[in-house]
A and B are shown apart, each in its own frame.
Chain A
Amino acid sequence: AQSVAQPEDQVNVAEGNPLTVKCTYSVSGNPYLFWYVQYPNRGLQFLLKYITGDNLVKGSYGFEAEFNKSQTSFHLKKPSALVSDSALYFCAVRAYGDDKIIFGKGTRLHILP
């Protein structure tokens, strides 16, 4: 069965510093990997995805993520954090041929001014 782990419930980063939100996954076969962001009382917004090809994926709002097959990881990164990046971030995985996307529990990102 496929699963996603986000080991940190919360990450605190000072504004202007680089940020990393961790995600590891378990899936049979090739994974499709996604990151979503959720602001308070809102639905999820798509940030980026990895399907195939280049391991470094660039997405919305300056975010990027690196697919590492040997470590089964898909960490979300941004070179310089903004206060407005404070939100709840979800990593998700979908196995090839499967219909549903499995979400991690989410990591709350606090960017400190």
Chain B
Amino acid sequence: NAGVMQNPRHLVRRRGQEARLRCSPVKGHSHVYWYRQLPEEGLKFMVYLQKENIIDESGMPKERFSAEFPKEGPSILRIQQVVRGDSAAYFCASSPPTGGAGNEQFFGPGTRLTVL
């Protein structure tokens, strides 16, 4: 079974451009989470999605950031009008729909965004 796939692995954008980060969860997983990791810091929760629904976006900045997990296709984290402070590693994780809160999350390799 393939694990969580993220692409691109590295993304370079100039200030003001848009960044699109993609995440394909483990096959059969319907829960997707996005995290941001700044250099030398831990992971900060951003958003939790299930198919076609945003369940919890309490960690997402109110402006410029959006996320979706459509019925078909990968989950997308979109950052509009990027600024240098958006430079970070963005990790996606997935978990299965059953088993409750005891399920561990499976992480992708991350997308490293650099804003010039």
Contacts and interface: CB of A to CB of B under 8 A. Distances in A.
Contacts, number: 57
A13 to B, nearest CB: 21
Given A43-B4, A44-B91, A49-B102, A100 B48 contact: yes
Contacts of A87: none
Interface residues of B, number: 26
Contact of A102 (B41, B45, B109): B45
A32 B102 contact: yes
Interface of B: 4, 6, 33, 35, 41-45, 48, 55-56, 58-59, 91, 93, 101-102, 104-110, 112
Interface of A: 32, 34, 36, 41-46, 49, 51, 90, 94-106
A44 B43 contact: yes
B33 A42 contact: no
Contact of B42 (A41, A45, A97, A105): A105
